[in-house]
Amino acid sequence: MVADAAATLEAAGVPSPANDAEILLAHVLGVPRGNLLLVAEVAAADAAAFAALVSRRAERVPLQHLTGTTGFRYVDLAVGPGVFTPRPETELLAGWAIESALGVEGRPPVVVDLCTGSGAIARSIADEVPHARVHAVEVDPDAHRWAQQNLTGTGVDLRQGDMADAFGDLDGTVDVVVCNPPYIPLEAWESVAPEARDHDPHLALFSGDDGLTAMRVLERVAGRLLRPAGVVGAEHADLQGELAPAVFSATGRWADVRDHRDLAGRPRYLTARLG
């Protein structure tokens, strides 16, 4: 069953056909993926449900929308239509934010997650730095509902609104600002994978002609939120390894502006310290 499904998915251009086929079958059967080989037989109803999911995945519906969940660092998140599905590479940015928060001494660190989407970064920070005071904001109503689901009971202060004017009550008091903003140029529409282009909210994907409109807003917002020597980190496209940090360097108010690569060696996120 897995081999046949993988062949179907491969023919449809799905990037990881065997992986997705195994995850979908394990999801239908309610067993860990590693236990599939222990399954003696699959009931007809389960086989039909599996075939239906494979068909939808072949139409490039995101795998996470079909299972309703995705893993991010050490937490599981509910995801689906209306919210950006967090990517593994964003775990590196979250890790940086967690390390930065843990480096604050003598008081609970104050962390703000802008453009929180599903709440992935905020949830991870709350999970790994339980003494932190974590705040998060999301402008899109549908995505905000997913964030509410994922952040309920975590103590995170979740708000709905535009990051441009969010958290005025925290100005000058924040230790760490972290953000995975939209960063795809509008002209790159055709090059975006169908899973993202056709299913992720466009508010979470596209950001002006050069992809840096949201990054410029972030620079200004981080500048007013952070206390002196506070730090900001933001993800960007792999082709923006020089352009995105330049947004911060050009203003003259940031020190230690650096870019960081992901595990594949591609430029992935920038960090900077408020002067």
Work out the average pLDDT over 207-220. Answer: 90
H runs (alpha helix) in 152-212: 194-197
Per-residue model confidence (pLDDT) at position 130: 97
130 is an annotated ligand-binding site residue = no
pLDDT one-digit tens code per residue, 24-47:
999 999 999 989 989 989 999 999
180 is an annotated ligand-binding site residue = yes
Confidence check: pLDDT of 192 > 70 = no
183 is an annotated ligand-binding site residue = yes
195 is an annotated ligand-binding site residue = no
Strand positions, DSSP E, the chain: 69-72, 75-78, 110-114, 133-138, 157-160, 174-179, 226-235, 254-261, 267-274
174-179 and 110-114 strand pairing: parallel
- At the topology level, CATH places domain 70-274 in Rossmann fold (3.40.50)
CA distances from 209 to 8, 184, 206, 256 (A): 37, 9, 9, 28
Quickly tell me which residue has 């239509």 as its tokens: 81
Per-residue model confidence (pLDDT) at position 193: 73
- The domain locations on the chain are 2-59, 70-274
Q: How far apart are CA 13 and CA 92, in angstroms?
A: 27
* Largest CA-CA distance found in the chain, in angstroms, rounded: 65
Q: Are 257 and 223 in contact (CB under 8 A)?
A: no
17 is an annotated ligand-binding site residue = no
Chain centre distance of CA 74: 14
Residue of 202, 175, 198 lying closest to 186 (CA atoms): 202
Instruction: Please tell me the least confidently modeled range out of 170-174, 177-181, 205-209.
Output: 205-209
Residue 88's SS3 state is coil
Task: State which amino acid sits at residue 157.
Answer: D
- Show the CA angle centred on residue 56, arms to residues 52 and 57, nearest 5°: 115
Angle between helices 141-151 and 120-128 (to 10 degrees): 20
- Mean pLDDT of the residues in the chain: 93
Per-residue model confidence (pLDDT) at position 185: 76
DSSP state of 253: -
| Banded model confidence at residue 4, pLDDT cuts 50, 70, 90 | very high
Per-residue model confidence (pLDDT) at position 200: 73
Residue of 31, 23, 81, 13 lying closest to 53 (CA atoms): 23
Residue of 173, 160, 158, 98 lying closest to 131 (CA atoms): 98
- Show the CA angle centred on residue 139, arms to residues 149 and 68, nearest 5°: 35
Question: What is the phi/psi pair of residue 130, to 5°?
Answer: -60, -20
